[in-house]
Amino acid sequence: MTSCKFNVTYSVNAYWVENATATYSAIYDEDPKWFLNYTLEKDHQKFVNWSLIELWMLFPNYMTPYSLTDPIPEDILSQIDNKSIFNEAPSYHKIIINDTLANLTGSYILSLNSFNFIQEMNSYINFNGNLWETSGFMYWDNISISVNIQDQNFIAPVNGIANATLFYPNGIEFINATLSNSTGRIENSTLFYDFNNQTILNSTNPVSYYGLYHLVFFWFNGSAIGCKRITIYIDAYDLDLYGLNYNSNQDKNILDGEIKHNVIENFTLLVASVNETTGILRSDDFYPINNNNLSEQFNHWIGEEQLPVLIKSFKQSENILNPGERIDVGVSVQNLHPFISVNVTIEIKIVSLANEEWILTEGTSSSVLDFYGLPSDTWEFEIPLWMPQLWNG
């Protein structure tokens, strides 16, 4: 019997998962930067009977490396192959440092540019809970804000904390003008924060300087960052109106006036002039706007059933609107369905001519209308509205 002897050589690749220290730097209007710092100890006991083959550094796929320094320190990123997908977690990328480059004890620092997750920011005048989007404000205005968050693939993140701070024109932080919101909601593929419509600036903390302020937003969820700012304008001015004349060629009323003592030179004004009407006597049932022959039909479908209603008339007690004034609106509606009663709600809004999203006042009224042919198939809805008071602060 013949005996055989074999020399067997084998190699095993073993992987240790270790943590790197992560820090970040965020400058408004620039992409955030992350720094992953890993300390390699070549004389560590884990290398007894083992040789270092390669060092992997992992990072989210919305980050891009721009520098990798070794303990010398020397930037060795250009000597490394391009980043690749980490197959075990495809939302991460990796770079591989071979044993030739990872041959020193000390810190290896990977520097990365990160996607800025803030997609949109907005500021609003908050008037009695109604938000009017604008970047221009006056003394004593209540200012509310919102911010939209979205990742590099136009997808809304799951959660995070949004903060906002107001800064003076000279860059100093405005005391007590900071908001934080940890609960956003998903809207149109974005994570939307409205800060519960709180005011970041209101009549309890008036400004002492006018000009260009900055609203700075910061969002963070542990690994993703959003960091941006917008400019808002807080101004004061006096307005003298000289006269109102009709231009027949343009078919427009031309309002002449002069702006004085303004801080910001270039902006657009919405100006209106109202003649004094206080003390003019008239009957309570007088409606200067009164259309008794509207005959506007609207159809609402429930499944395959059509519910037609007819607006028969519209009347309004005021056509010149003064601050703090009550306006009575009447709308007559008839149910045209032959055998179904309908529940009708009328909503009236008075909005700004410059921006229909600026709601000055609104009101609603509801009633059930019997089917067509009964005496109660028609109802005149009465909706009282109140114009906002003029602020003299």
Q: How far apart are CA 129 and CA 333, in angstroms?
A: 30
Does some domain include residue 379? Answer: yes
Does some domain include residue 283? Answer: no
Indicate if the pLDDT at residue 73 is higher than 90: yes
Indicate if the pLDDT at residue 267 is higher than 80: no
The confidence score (pLDDT) of residue 74 equals 95
The confidence score (pLDDT) of residue 93 equals 95
The confidence score (pLDDT) of residue 330 equals 94
Bridge-based pairing of strands 225-235 and 136-138 is parallel
Phi, psi (deg, nearest 5) at residue 45: -65, -20
The confidence score (pLDDT) of residue 206 equals 64
- E strands within 196-237? 211-220, 225-235
Does some domain include residue 371? Answer: yes
Bridge-based pairing of strands 359-369 and 342-351 is antiparallel
Does some domain include residue 251? Answer: yes
Q: Which residues does 135 contact at the CB level (< 8 Å), separation at least 6? A: 123, 230, 231, 232, 233
Does some domain include residue 12? Answer: no
- What mean pLDDT do residues 237-245 have? 74
Residues 173/167, Cβ–Cβ less than 8 Å:
yes
Higher pLDDT, 137 or 149: 149
pLDDT-based confidence at 392, cuts 50/70/90? very low
Higher pLDDT, 288 or 215: 215
Number of domain units in the chain = 4
pLDDT, one tens digit per residue, over 47-56 is 888 888 899 9
The mean-pLDDT minimum among 214-223, 254-263, 304-313 falls in 254-263
Q: How far apart are CA 93 and CA 213, in angstroms?
A: 40
The mean-pLDDT minimum among 140-144, 145-149, 156-160 falls in 140-144
Mean pLDDT of the chain: 87
Domain co-membership, 206 together with 103 = no
The confidence score (pLDDT) of residue 141 equals 83
pLDDT, one tens digit per residue, over 343-375 is 999 999 998 876 777 888 999 999 999 999 999
Residue with tokens 């008036």: 206
pLDDT-based confidence at 114, cuts 50/70/90? very high
Domain co-membership, 337 together with 362 = yes
The confidence score (pLDDT) of residue 128 equals 78
The confidence score (pLDDT) of residue 32 equals 95
Does some domain include residue 266? Answer: yes
The confidence score (pLDDT) of residue 219 equals 97
- What mean pLDDT do residues 292-318 have? 90
- What mean pLDDT do residues 236-251 have? 78
Question: Of 114, 139, 157, which residue is a domain's last?
Answer: 114
Does some domain include residue 9? Answer: no
- What mean pLDDT do residues 204-224 have? 85
Domain co-membership, 82 together with 187 = no
Indicate if the pLDDT at residue 234 is higher than 70: yes
* Residue 352 identity (one-letter amino acid): S
Bridge-based pairing of strands 143-149 and 190-193 is antiparallel
pLDDT-based confidence at 270, cuts 50/70/90? low
Share of the chain above pLDDT 90, in %: 55
Sheet architecture: strand order including 190-193:
130-133, 118-127, 143-149, 190-193, 185-187
- What mean pLDDT do residues 295-301 have? 90
pLDDT-based confidence at 292, cuts 50/70/90? confident
Indicate if the pLDDT at residue 304 is higher than 90: no
- What mean pLDDT do residues 150-156 have? 94
Nearest to 181 by CA among 144, 150, 154: 144
The confidence score (pLDDT) of residue 23 equals 96
The confidence score (pLDDT) of residue 393 equals 41
- What mean pLDDT do residues 300-312 have? 91
Q: How far apart are CA 239 and CA 252, in angstroms?
A: 21
* Six-digit token string for 334: 């008839």
CATH number at residue 317: 2.60.40
Q: Which residues does 230 contact at the CB level (< 8 Å), separation at least 6? A: 121, 122, 123, 135, 214, 215, 217
The confidence score (pLDDT) of residue 149 equals 97
* Six-digit token string for 64: 């891009």
CATH number at residue 143: 2.60.40.1930
- What mean pLDDT do residues 109-124 have? 96
In this structure, the dihedral spanned by the alpha carbons of residues 80, 81, 83 and 87, taken in order and rounded to 10 degrees, is -120
- What mean pLDDT do residues 57-65 have? 95
The confidence score (pLDDT) of residue 120 equals 95
Q: Is 102 helix (H, G, I), strand (E, B) or coil?
A: coil
Does some domain include residue 223? Answer: yes
Domain interval for residue 72: 21-114
Domain co-membership, 213 together with 150 = yes
Nearest to 165 by CA among 153, 173, 156, 157: 173
Domain co-membership, 82 together with 43 = yes
Share of the chain above pLDDT 70, in %: 90
The confidence score (pLDDT) of residue 281 equals 56
The mean-pLDDT minimum among 19-28, 249-258, 311-320, 330-339 falls in 249-258
